[in-house]
Amino acid sequence: MPHMRDHLADNLNRVQSEIAAACRRAGRLPSEVKLVAVTKYAELTEVRRLTELGVVDLGESRPQQLSERADQLSAGVQWHFIGHLQRNKVKPVLSHAVLIHSVDSLRLLERISAVAEEMSLRPRVLLEVNVSGETSKNGISNDELRSQWDVFQAVPNVEITGLMTMAPLVDDPETARPVFRQLRLLRDELTIRSLSHVKLTELSMGMSGDFAIAIEEGATLIRIGSRLFASP
């Protein structure tokens, strides 16, 4: 399907150009930012084409679809789980995901720890922080994470590698900048208090509408769906 391939290639080229421009503005290297393609609403044929174009980090938000697509796509794909994770769905996600972006409570982290021990795994996870304080969003509050940080980082069998947040969906991407900046500052604050085995190297923030701002504020992982798969 050459038309689809050209269409996806054009979208990907535009996104990569914008990533590079944002990195230049921030004095960063494009290699410091990983593009995670959000495949939730994409057809399998489109996802497969995107991997042929070199995008191997794919993000799914539903455990069942993650399992199905992990079986359908070739080896070499790195699956990220980016959606709300129920504690009874941890096992299938751990079977496939190289990184869970959305650990939004201590109870979920403890459940992941218990299942990981059963599976002899040590999964990499990000803690989801509700920086904006919106009641419609999942996530740990800034204050809760600060006060409970010692408890979070003491949970065994998991590797906490950073933080994740979602900014409010607004027309002006600049509105998201304070949210992304607060997440970076919170990460820096927690790093000072971290045990030697906890390395908070990742910041998952920024989506199709605001990823450039997120990169300028320090994002290492950006989650992009509609900009990649949108029709011409």
- 27 burial via Cβ count (<10 Å: 0-12, 13-18, 19+): exposed
With a cut of 70, say whether residue 224 has pLDDT above it: yes
25-64, pLDDT tens digit by residue? 999 999 999 999 999 989 999 999 999 999 999 999 999 9
Whether 135 has a pLDDT exceeding 70, the answer reads yes
pLDDT at 1 over 60: no
Which neighbouring-strand residues pair with 126?
Answer: 162
Contact indicator for 19, 216 with CB cutoff of 8 Å: no
Name the β-bridge partners of 159.
124
Q: How many domains is the chain built from?
A: 1
**Statement: residue 20 has pLDDT above 70:** yes
Beta strands 124-128 and 159-164, pairing class: parallel
pLDDT for 5 beyond 60: no
- The residue range of the domain holding 46 is 2-229
Residue 101 belongs to domain with CATH number: 3.20.20.10
pLDDT tens-digit readout, 89-99: 999 999 999 99
